[in-house]
Amino acid sequence: MPAIAQKPAHQSAHPSTIKILYGESDEHTLSAQAAEMNKAGHHVTTALNRHGVLEALRRDAFDLVILGATLSKDDRHHLPYMVKKAHEGTKVLVMHAGTHHHEVDAAVDSNLSMHRILERIAALLQPAPVR
């Protein structure tokens, strides 16, 4: 009888862990939402305000940059350009976006539950279907 392969104990319970940079202008919102993303198994780096996001992009690369609803409309418009310029393959998710921006990979209504936002994050990072 063949042996059944088991998962090593040190392997993460969340094999789809991604590296996220999450920016907001409100500290309370930032910490609460980041905690939920961490609970989902993602590695989250937080950044307060536009300058925090830019500094984090200078220090490291990320799979996904989330621009939160408490950032100004101007920041949510200009930062996607800066993200793509700093790290071309990085995905950008904007919360509370009214229109689609060509540098934004996805937008989500910030009034959705965190569960729905996490689902959107997972869907965004799925490999594209082969045609």
Q: What percent helix, strand, coil does the chain show, rounded to 5?
A: 35, 20, 45
Domains and CATH numbers, the chain: 19-124 (3.40.50.2300)
* DSSP string for 12-46: -S-TT--EEEEEES-HHHHHHHHHHHHHTT-EEEE
82-104 pLDDT, tens digit per residue, is: 999 999 989 999 987 665 667 88
Kindly indicate the confidence band of residue 1, based on its pLDDT and cuts at 50, 70 and 90: very low
Indicate the SS3 state at residue 122. helix
10-53 pLDDT, tens digit per residue, is: 333 444 578 999 999 999 999 999 999 999 999 999 999 999 99
The model's pTM is 0.81
pLDDT of residue 84: 94
